[in-house]
């Protein structure tokens, strides 16, 4: 992040646009689809409803959003540099949804 002088600020935390992060983490096939879901007000960042695709997110933020017929709950663990393969994308977040874990009754 650039400071007032135009030089990078070493104290600034790394951030990334929400629509770009959702696309890089492979939750949506395009940034446009991610932006549509965000603009519809269907995404929450740390429990707060967001309607701007350009909203910055950082490591440690928790996202809640619909994906298909599911509601996803994930915590950002890393900001991607690119949209890589699925195995790389899975390293960008921790899935907090108890439905995806093992069934405790089995």
pLDDT in tens, 2-22: 556 667 666 567 899 999 999
- What would be the CATH architecture of the domain defined by 16-96? Roll (3.10)
pLDDT tens string 31-89? 999 999 999 999 999 999 999 999 999 999 999 999 989 999 999 999 989 999 999 99
The pLDDT of residue 104: 42
Task: Kindly report the pTM of this predicted structure.
Answer: 0.81
Among the residues of 1-106, which ranges form H helices?
18-24, 31-39, 86-89
The pLDDT of residue 5: 66
Q: Where is 75: in which H helix or E strand?
A: strand 70-76
CA angle 45, 49, 55 (to 5 degrees): 60
């Amino acid at each position: 992040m650039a400071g007032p002088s135009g030089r990078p600020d070493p104290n600034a935390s790394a951030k990334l646009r929400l629509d770009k992060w959702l696309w890089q983490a492979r939750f949506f096939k395009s940034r446009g689809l991610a932006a549509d879901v965000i603009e519809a007000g269907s995404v929450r960042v740390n429990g707060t409803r967001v309607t701007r695709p350009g909203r910055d997110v950082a490591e440690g933020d928790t996202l809640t959003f619909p994906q298909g017929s599911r509601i996803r709950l994930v915590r950002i663990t890393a900001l991607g540099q690119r949209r890589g393969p699925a195995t790389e994308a899975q390293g960008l977040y921790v899935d907090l949804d108890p439905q995806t874990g093992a069934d405790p009754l089995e």
